[in-house]
Structure 1
Amino acid sequence: MSEEIIARASAGTFIGSEEAESGARVWRGIRYALPPVGELRWRDPVAAPRASEPVTCASAPPAAPQLPNPAVPLGDDAVIDEDCLFLNVWAPAAAEALPVMVWVHGGAYTFGSSAQPLFEGATLVREGGVVLVTLNYRLGALGFLDLSGVDPDAFDGNLALKDVLLALSWVRENVAAFGGDPSRVTVFGESAGGGLVTALLAVPSAAGLFHRAIVQSSPASSMYGPERAREVADRFLAEAGESGADPARLRELPVDEIVRASTAVYAAVPQQSPGRLAFAPVVDGSLLPEAPITVLREGRGHPVPLIIGTNRDEASLFKFMKSPLIPITEDRLLEMFADMRAEAPGLELPSVQQVASAYEGVRHRVLGLGVARDIGFRMPGVWIAEGHSAVAPVWFYRFDHSSPFLKLIGLGATHATELPYLWGNLDGGPKDPTFRLGGRREAGRIGARMRARWTAFARGGSPQAVAPEGVASEGVAPEGAAEWRPYDLASRGTLVIGREDRCVDDLDGALRAGWGDEVLSFR
C-alpha cells in the first residue's frame, strides 16, 4: 500500500507516493530535459518546460539505449528508449531542508540506469536523513561520441556531461519542493559515474551546482582530447556505414544500429590501444578546458570537500568478464606503456622494473591484475587526493571486504562490489551468488557503517559513522567503526573498510614509490 504525496516545484506539480513498507517517499521518472531525439539527437540537452498539468511519477524511467550486460542488470521490467533524460527523487517522510545526494550511475559510459534495482534508495534516505536524486544521462555513442569535430554546426559534444549539468541545475531549482536543501548538494558516483563526478570538479560552469563530492572507483585518467575523439568518431561512422557524416542521415539512423555500432567501437578501441576507452568525457578546451586528473592533481578543482577511494581488487572483475577495457596480460601492459611513451616523449614515465618494485611478494600470475588496478583506478585516486587536499578536506578510502563466495572464486573486493553495501540492497535476485556461502549479516553491518559515513559527510560534517539524532542508530557510531582522519601529505591517513574499519597511515606508500610522482594519463 502507498499514499499519494504531492510536490509543487518550479518545474511543475509531481505526484509521488509514500511506500508503507519502506517509509520512504519516491517520485519516479521526472523529466528534466526534452527527448534527445530527431533534431535533438547529438545536440545539447534542452531543459524540459514547466509541466502544465500534474505529473504522476509512479513508473521507473526508460534506460538509455544499450545492449544487455549481465554485470549491469537493469531489472526484469526495464524499458530502454532514446527518450531517457529523467530523474528520480527519494525522501524520508516529513522531509524538510534536508541535505541532498545526487547519484550518477556507472557502467563504462555505455551501460546502466538510474532505475537499476541496486539503486532503490529507501534504505539510504531513511537511515541517513537525506533527500536522494538518481539521474539518467545519455550513454555510448549517443552520449559520448563527439561529432563536433566532423561538423561543428550540426553536432554538439560532451553531451552526457551536459546532461548531468542540466540535471544538477534542475535539482538546484526544484529540490526544495521535495524536502531538500539546494545549498547542501553532494554529487556522488561510481566507476563511469565517478569519472563524471571527477570531470564536474574540473568544469568551470559546474561551480555552485554542488557543495561536496564523493568519487568511487573513478577511471579519472581516461579522458581524451579532440584528436582522440575524432579518431573514435571516424571509427564509429565507418562502422555505421556513414563515413559521409551527413547530419540528416545520422539523425535518421535506427537507434538499434547506433547501439550496434557503438558496442563494436567500445570493444575495438581498447583492443587496438590497451588502456583506452572508446567513450568518455572529452577534454574539449571549452566545457572541460583541461584534463581533470591534471587540474585536480594541481589543486585547481572546485574547492569542495571530497571523499574518494577504490576497491582492493578492482581489476579482477574485468578479467573474470573477459572485458577488453583493462589490459591485464604482460604483453598488453607493455604495449600500453609503449603507447604512453610514444604519445608523451617528454614525460618521465617509470620503468617497468620500477613499477614492479611496488609489487614485491605478489605472485607473477596476479601481478598484471595489480598493475591494471593501480594504473586504472588506485593511482589516479592517490594523485587526486594529494592535489585536492591542498584546497579542501579530503577523505581517502579503500574497500577491502568480500563475501566468502567472491573470495572463493578469486574476485575478492572487486570493481563495484561496495555498491550493495552502500545502498543496503544486498539481495541481488535469484541469480546473484554473492552470499551463497554466507556473509550477509556481516555485509549488513559494514553497509550500515558506510551509509552512516557517506550521509554524515553529505550533512556537512566529517564522514564519521554516526547517524543524526532520531535517525537509525540515533547518533551512536555502529559497531566496528573507526575514526577516519582527513588525508594530508604528512600522514596520508586512509580508511580501510572491512569487517572492522581501520585508518592506516600511508597505505599506498609502496605504490607511490613504484609509480612515482608523475601523473600518467591516456590522451
Structure 2
Amino acid sequence: MGSAAEPNPSTPHAPRFAHPLVDTPNGTLRGDAAGQTERWLGIRYAKPPTGELRWRAPVPVSPWTGVADARISGPIAPQQRMKAMDVGERALTDEDCLFLNVWRPAAAGQPGATPRAVMVWVHGGAYVLGGTTQPVFDGAALADRGDVIVVTLGYRLGGLGFLELSTLDGAGGQFDSNLGMRDVLCALEWARSNIGAFGGDPSRVTLFGESAGAGIVSTLLATPSARGLFSAAIVESSPATSVYGLARAKIVAERFVAKLAIEGADGAALRALPVSSVVETAAELFAEIPTEFPGTLAFAPVVDGDLVPEHPVTVLSEGRGLRVALIIGTNRDEATFFKLAKSPLLPVGEEALTTMITEIAAENPSIEMPDREHILDAYEGVRQRMVGLGIARDVGFRMPTLWIAEGHSRLAPTYLYRFDFATPLLKVLRLGATHGTEVASVWGNLDTDPRGLAYKLGGRRQAGEVSDRMLALWTSFARDGQPTDEGLPGAAAWPAFGERRSTLVIDRVDRVVDDLDADLLAAWGDRAFSLS
C-alpha cells in the first residue's frame, strides 16, 4: 500500500503535504501534518457497539468508498468526568467509541522508506476513565524523536466494557465477556492488517500501557488468542492481580440489574437503557464495591475460561505467557496518590489491607497468604505512617510485577525498572514518584498542563533529561528489542533481568541495582504468595 497527499497552496509556509492521504485495505484516509510528523485521528476500527451490538464482541469495520476524514479525534467511551483525569477540553463521549489514532514520522511515508516499528498504547483509568484524547497522549514527540509509528486506541469502559452480564442466570449467550479486552484485540488485528499502509512493520508491534492499560497488557500476555498480534510489551504499574473470577463478576452484574429494576438477563431491556443510566449505575458500583471489598475493582478483566483461561499472574509467574520481550516496572511511591484521593481502590489501613490480601488469595486457590509478621519484617525501620503505604504499594503493584518478571524472564528477554524521579513540588506534597507520574516522561509531553503546576518549585530541566532517557529506552526497545539510551545525560546500561535480578532505577541519574527487592521477595514469597 502506498500513500498519496494533497498540497495546500493557500498556506505558503505549510508542510509540503498538509493533508496526507493513506490507502488502507479498508479505504482511503485523509490526515494532517505538522512539523516532522503526520497524523490520522478518529479512525474507526470496529462497527459502533450500539443497539444489538451493545455487550457484544466488537465487529471489525467494513471497507468504505471515497475518502474518510481522519483529522479530528473520535469520541471516547462514556464516563463520568473527573478533575483528576484530563481527557481534553474538546473531548466527546459516546457509546460509539471504537476509534484509534496514528502518528508517523513524515519520512516514514516517503516512497521506499524502511518500515518502522509500531507502538500501540492502551490508556489507563481504573477501567472506567480516560481516553485517547488526553493531551499527554499526543503521539507526535514519540513518533518523531523515537522514529516509530504510534497508535493510541479507545476501548469500552466500565458498565459497557467490563460488566460481565454473561454471568447472569439465564444469559444464554446474549452477552459476550471481557468486552474491553476484546476491543483491544480487535484494534491489534486492525493494526496487523492496516499499519503497513502507514509505513509500519506489522511484525514489530510493541503493546504498551499504564495502570488499567497495563493491566490489559499483562492480561493479554497470558491470553492465547493474542499470540502473533504483538511482538513486545511494556507494562507500567499493572494492577495484575485485579483480575477476577466469574463468581466475583456475577456479584457486580446482579447488583447492576437490581439497581435498574431489571429482571435478570433481560437482553432487550438492558439494550434499551439510555447510556446515561448505564454510566450512572456503573459509577455507583465503582464506589460501592471497593468500599465493601477493599482493593477490589467493580470492573476489571475476568477469568472467563474462554478469552482468559487462567489467572494471568499464575500463567506469567510460571513462565507460560506469550514469548515476547518485556519491559515491566512500577513507581516508587505508587500508593500516595490513592491515599491523597482517599480512594478505596488501594487501601492503606491495616484492616482493609488484610481484607485486600485475603481477597487476592481467594481469587486464586494456589495462592498462600504469608504470615502477617513475616510480611512486616520487610518494612522494619520504615516510619509507622509509611508502613501501610508500603504494603499497599507492594501488594497492589510491586510484588505482582516481580512475580511476572521472575517467570517471564525464563521465557523471553525481560527488563525490570522502578521509577523514582519526583519534582520538588511532588516531594513537598508527599506524593513523590506516585502512580502515573512516569507517563509524561515516556511520551515526551511534560508541559500539557497550561498552569505548569508540576514545576512551580523547579525541576523542569531534570524532568526533561529523565524524559529524554525514558523516551529513548522505550522506543529503542520497540525498534530493536533492547532498551538503550547510551550517550544521554544520566544514562545507565540496562541489563536484562536474570539471576542477579537487575533493576533500572530511573531518577535524576539512573542506576542499576541488583536484587533491589530482595527483602520484599523474602517476605512475600518468590512467586505469588508461594504459588505452587
Report if TM-score (shorter chain) is over 0.5. yes
CA contact (8 A) 1:234 1:243 kept: no
1:297-320 Cα offsets, whole Å, 9 max, x none, are 000000100000000000100111
Q: 1:498 to 1:324 in 2, by over 3 A?
A: same
Which residue does the alignment assign to 2:410?
390
Which of 108, 123, 135 is the matching residue for 2:126? 108
CA contact (8 A) 1:100 1:186 kept: yes
Note if 1:505 corresponds to 2:518: no
Which residue does the alignment assign to 2:6?
none
Note if 1:221 corresponds to 2:241: yes
Cα distance in 1, alignment partners of residues 383 and 260 from structure 2: 44
Note if 1:56 corresponds to 2:69: yes
CA contact (8 A) 2:317 2:527 kept: no
Cα distance in 2, alignment partners of residues 25 and 64 from structure 1: 25
CA contact (8 A) 1:185 1:210 kept: yes
CA contact (8 A) 1:137 1:163 kept: yes
Deviates more, 1:148-157 or 1:280-289: 148-157
**Letter in structure 1 aligned against 2:146:** G
Cα distance in 1, alignment partners of residues 71 and 350 from structure 2: 50
Which of 156, 178, 193 is the matching residue for 1:138? 156
1:337-360 Cα offsets, whole Å, 9 max, x none, are 444566777743111111111111
Which of 486, 489, 500 is the matching residue for 1:479? 489
Cα distance in 2, alignment partners of residues 157 and 33 from structure 1: 17
| Cα RMSD (Å) | 1.6
Note if 1:85 corresponds to 2:95: no
Note if 1:403 corresponds to 2:413: no
Note if 1:173 corresponds to 2:173: no
Which residue does the alignment assign to 2:22?
7
**Letter in structure 2 aligned against 1:506:** D
CA contact (8 A) 2:311 2:364 kept: no
> Under a length normalisation based on structure 1, what TM-score does the superposition of the two structures give?
0.95
Which residue does the alignment assign to 2:145?
127
**Letter in structure 1 aligned against 2:167:** G
CA contact (8 A) 1:348 1:518 kept: no
Which residue does the alignment assign to 2:167?
149
Cα distance in 1, alignment partners of residues 357 and 254 from structure 2: 25
Which residue does the alignment assign to 1:473?
none
**Letter in structure 2 aligned against 1:13:** T
Note if 1:24 corresponds to 2:42: no
Which residue does the alignment assign to 1:469?
none
Cα distance in 2, alignment partners of residues 58 and 451 from structure 1: 25
Which residue does the alignment assign to 1:98?
116
CA contact (8 A) 2:415 2:497 kept: yes
Which residue does the alignment assign to 1:496?
505
Instruction: Specify the SS of the correspondent of 1:25.
Output: strand
CA contact (8 A) 2:244 2:363 kept: no
1:155-198 Cα offsets, whole Å, 9 max, x none, are 11110100000000000000011110111100000000000001
- Counterparts of 1:144-293 in structure 2, within 5 Å, are 144-150=162-168, 151-293=171-313
1:188-243 Cα offsets, whole Å, 9 max, x none, are 00000000001111111111100000000000011011111111111111222324
Cα distance in 2, alignment partners of residues 402 and 273 from structure 1: 32
CA contact (8 A) 2:328 2:415 kept: yes
Cα distance in 2, alignment partners of residues 347 and 78 from structure 1: 42
Q: 1:344 to 1:32 in 2, by over 3 A?
A: closer
Residue 426 of structure 1 and its aligned partner are, at CA, apart by 1.1
Q: 1:432 to 1:73 in 2, by over 3 A?
A: farther
Gaps of 5+ in 2: 1-13
Which residue does the alignment assign to 1:43?
56
Gaps of 5+ in 1: 467-476
Cα distance in 2, alignment partners of residues 153 and 342 from structure 1: 28
Note if 1:462 corresponds to 2:477: no
Instruction: Specify the SS of the correspondent of 2:31.
Output: strand
Cα distance in 2, alignment partners of residues 364 and 441 from structure 1: 34
CA contact (8 A) 1:221 1:520 kept: no
> Under a length normalisation based on structure 2, what TM-score does the superposition of the two structures give?
0.93
CA contact (8 A) 1:89 1:134 kept: yes
Q: 1:442 to 1:263 in 2, by over 3 A?
A: same
**Letter in structure 2 aligned against 1:122:** A
Note if 1:420 corresponds to 2:457: no
Identity %: 54
Residue 364 of structure 1 and its aligned partner are, at CA, apart by 0.7
Note if 1:66 corresponds to 2:79: yes
Deviates more, 1:279-288 or 1:237-246: 237-246
Cα distance in 1, alignment partners of residues 364 and 437 from structure 2: 34
Instruction: Specify the SS of the correspondent of 2:338.
Output: helix
CA contact (8 A) 1:221 1:521 kept: no
**Letter in structure 1 aligned against 2:156:** R
Residue 48 of structure 1 and its aligned partner are, at CA, apart by 0.6
- Counterparts of 1:340-351 in structure 2, within 5 Å, are 347-351=367-371
Cα distance in 2, alignment partners of residues 73 and 7 from structure 1: 31
